Chains A and B, each alone.
Chain A
Amino acid sequence: MKPKTMFEKIWEAHVVHEEAGQPSLLYIDRHLVHEVTSPQAFEGLRLTGRRVRRPELTFATMDHNVPTTNRKIPIQDAVSAKQIETLVQNCSEFGVALFDLDSPDQGIVHVIGPELGLTLPGQTLVCGDSHTSTHGAFGALAFGIGTSEVEHVLATQCLLQDKPKTFWIEVNGRRPYGVEAKDIILSIIGRIGTDGGTGSVIEYAGETIRRLSMEERMTVCNMSIEAGARAGMIAPDEKTFDYLRGRRYAPDDFDAAVERWRKLPTDVGSRFDRVLRVDAASLAPQITWGTNPGQVVAVDVCVPNPSDFSDPNARKSAERALDYMGLKAGTAMTEIPIDRVFIGSCTNARIEDLQRVARFVKGKRVALKVYAMIVPGSQQVKKQAENEGLDRIFKEAGFDWRESGCSMCLGMNPDILKPGERCASTSNRNFEGRQGKGGRTHLVSPIMAAAAAVEGRFADVRKYGRKGA
Chain B
Amino acid sequence: MEPFKKQTGIVTLLDLPNVDTDQIIPKQFLKRIERTGFGQFLFYDWRFIDGKKPNPDFEMNADRYRGATILATRANFGCGSSREHAPWALLDYGFRCLIAPSFADIFHNNCFKNGILPVKLSESQVETIFERVRKTPGYRLTVDLEKKKIVSDDGLDFTFELDEFRRHGLLGGLDDIGLTLQYENKILAYEANHREISPAPPGQTSI
Contacts and interface: CB of A to CB of B under 8 A. Distances in A.
Interface stretch (B62-70, B135-143, B197-205): B197-205
A79 B80 CA distance: 24
B154 interface: no
Interface stretch (A143-151, A331-339, A369-377, A394-402): A143-151
A118 B201 contact: yes
Contacts of B26: 433, 437
A122 B201 CA distance: 15
Interface stretch (A104-112, A193-201, A277-285, A454-462): A193-201
A198 B76 contact: yes
Given A313-B74, A313-B75, A410-B27, A433 B45 contact: yes
Given A195-B104, A313-B17, A431-B23, A50 B28 contact: no
B27 A252 contact: no
Nearest to A195: B76
B55 interface: no
A13 to B, nearest CB: 6
A116 to B, nearest CB: 9
B137 to A, nearest CB: 24
Interface string A70-113: 00000001011011001000000001010000000000000000
A234 to B, nearest CB: 20
Contacts of A48: 177
B81 interface: yes
Contacts of A437: 26, 45
A195 B102 contact: yes
A39 B83 CA distance: 12
Given A16-B183, A29-B197, A56-B201, A228 B105 contact: yes
Given A23-B165, A29-B197, A56-B201, A65 B31 contact: yes
A292 B20 CA distance: 9
A230 interface: yes
A195 B33 contact: no
Contacts of B30: 36, 64, 412
A441 to B, nearest CB: 11
Nearest to B15: A316
Interface string B6-24: 0000000000111010110
B26 to A, nearest CB: 6
A83 B29 CA distance: 12
A248 B202 contact: yes
Interface stretch (A154-162, A180-188, A341-349, A352-360): A154-162
A129 B27 CA distance: 13
Contact of B34 (A40, A145, A162, A434): A40
Nearest to A129: B82
Given A16-B187, A144-B106, A433 B83 contact: no
Contacts of A69: none
B22 A432 contact: yes
B199 A412 contact: no
B23 A37 contact: no
A429 interface: yes
A420 B102 CA distance: 31
B198 A27 contact: yes
A225 B80 CA distance: 7
A148 B177 CA distance: 9
A225 B17 CA distance: 17
Nearest to A164: B105
A79 B31 contact: yes
Contacts of B34: 40, 43
A56 B180 contact: no
Interface stretch (B91-99, B109-117, B145-153): B109-117
Contact of A433 (B23, B31, B165, B203): B23
Contacts of A431: 20, 22-23, 80
20 contacts: A16-B186, A22-B164, A23-B165, A29-B197, A56-B207, A65-B31, A83-B31, A83-B33, A130-B82, A145-B82, A145-B109, A146-B110, A158-B187, A195-B75, A195-B104, A249-B203, A251-B201, A313-B17, A410-B22, A431-B23
Interface of B: 16-18, 20, 22-23, 26-28, 30-35, 45, 74-76, 79-84, 87, 102, 104-106, 109-110, 113-114, 163-165, 176-177, 179-181, 183, 186-187, 190-191, 194, 196-207
9 cross-chain pairs, A with B, having the tightest CB-CB distances, nearest first: A148-B113, A39-B33, A146-B110, A146-B84, A249-B201, A56-B204, A147-B84, A195-B76, A144-B82
Given A146-B87, A199-B105, A317-B16, 5 more contacts: A27-B197, A118-B201, A146-B110, A292-B79, A434-B22
